């Protein structure tokens, strides 16, 4: 049985790194999936900046579950060379930060076109990224995301079977729901390839992200299934209940449709705390 280790995208709590650390510790979370920080997105950091972040985290007793990078979040028709050069620095940073995981994606597809047309180009790029990361003992962990090649369970399966032993999977139920994918059948297909889980719930009817247990993510059942894996497994909470700083840098459309604020929270920290409470309530049922 898996031993769950709790992490979060703490940039959704607001503020800089020290405020993110406080939000994690006050909610009983031991790890962070680094994304937005004081100096910007972790994907743009130099090695020197990464070392400064590592020291602050170590002094606070917070570990790094993964680098929440934006690599693979460019259009497949865009030039790859500069993107790949930046990715190489991110691999070095992952080593500095003490995590073997980099969250990444499989490139935005042109609207209205068949993703199959771009499969060869996508897979060539993924192969280069995986090879570069594995040189340093770091894994590319592919997240399903709206609009990229791997936005459906079938295309994720194509990636994860083709690159078995080179790329691992992240399962994000809310992102699948927003693509019309049923969650439990998707996990049945992909479960053996999933390295860690993003905990984020969503309603199928309207695509609203909601607190855990209020959507169609079957979060409790999903975690019961994930519990059947072996070893330490990260559960990374990704609240997405309120617009947060840096969101526009993460989404193709600037985040306009990513976070729909159905629930009223006075601050980003309040939304983060509410998401943590709903997450804890689900864990207590397992």
Structure confidence by residue, pLDDT tens digits, 221-278: 999 999 999 999 999 999 999 876 655 555 555 444 555 656 779 999 999 999 999 9
Note whether 5 and 235 are within 8 A (CB): yes
Structure confidence by residue, pLDDT tens digits, 88-118: 999 999 999 999 999 999 999 999 999 999 9
Domain range for 167 is 3-283
DSSP 61: T
Question: How many CA atoms lie less than 13 Å away from 116 in the CB half-sphere?
Answer: 2
**Which residue in the block uniquely carries the two structure tokens 């695509």?**
207
pTM of the predicted model, to two decimals?
Answer: 0.93
Tokens of 265: 């929270």
The CATH number for 90's domain is: 3.20.20.150
Note whether 30 and 7 are within 8 A (CB): yes
Q: What is the mean pLDDT of the chain?
A: 94
Note whether 14 and 245 are within 8 A (CB): yes
The domain total for the chain is: 1
What's the pLDDT score for residue 245?
Answer: 60
DSSP 116: G
């Amino acid at each position: 049985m898996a031993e769950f280790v709790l992490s979060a995208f703490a940039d959704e709590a607001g503020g800089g790194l020290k405020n993110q650390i406080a939000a994690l510790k006050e909610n009983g979370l031991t790890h962070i999936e680094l994304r937005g920080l004081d100096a910007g997105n972790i994907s743009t950091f130099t090695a020197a900046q990464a070392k400064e972040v590592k020291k602050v985290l170590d002094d606070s007793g917070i570990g790094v579950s993964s680098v929440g990078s934006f690599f693979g979040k460019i259009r497949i028709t865009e030039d790859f060379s500069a993107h790949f050069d930046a990715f190489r620095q991110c691999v070095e940073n992952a080593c500095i930060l003490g995590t073997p995981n980099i969250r990444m994606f499989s490139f935005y597809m042109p609207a209205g076109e068949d993703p199959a047309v771009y499969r060869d180009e996508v897979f060539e790029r993924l192969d280069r990224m995986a090879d570069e990361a594995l040189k340093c003992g770091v894994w590319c962990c592919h997240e399903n995301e709206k609009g990229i090649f791997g936005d459906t369970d079938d295309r994720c399966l194509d990636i994860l079977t083709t690159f078995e032993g080179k790329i691992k999977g992240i399962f994000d139920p809310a992102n699948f729901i927003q693509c019309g994918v049923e969650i439990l059948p998707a996990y049945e297909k992909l479960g053996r390839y999933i390295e860690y889980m993003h905990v984020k719930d969503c309603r199928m009817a309207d695509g609203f992200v909601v607190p855990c247990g209020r959507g169609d993510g079957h979060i409790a059942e999903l975690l019961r299934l994930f519990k059947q894996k072996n070893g330490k497994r990260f559960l990374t909470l990704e609240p997405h209940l309120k617009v947060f700083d840096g969101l526009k840098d993460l989404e193709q459309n600037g985040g306009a449709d990513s976070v729909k604020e159905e629930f009223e929270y006075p601050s980003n920290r309040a939304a983060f705390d509410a998401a943590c409470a709903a997450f804890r309530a689900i864990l207590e049922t397992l």
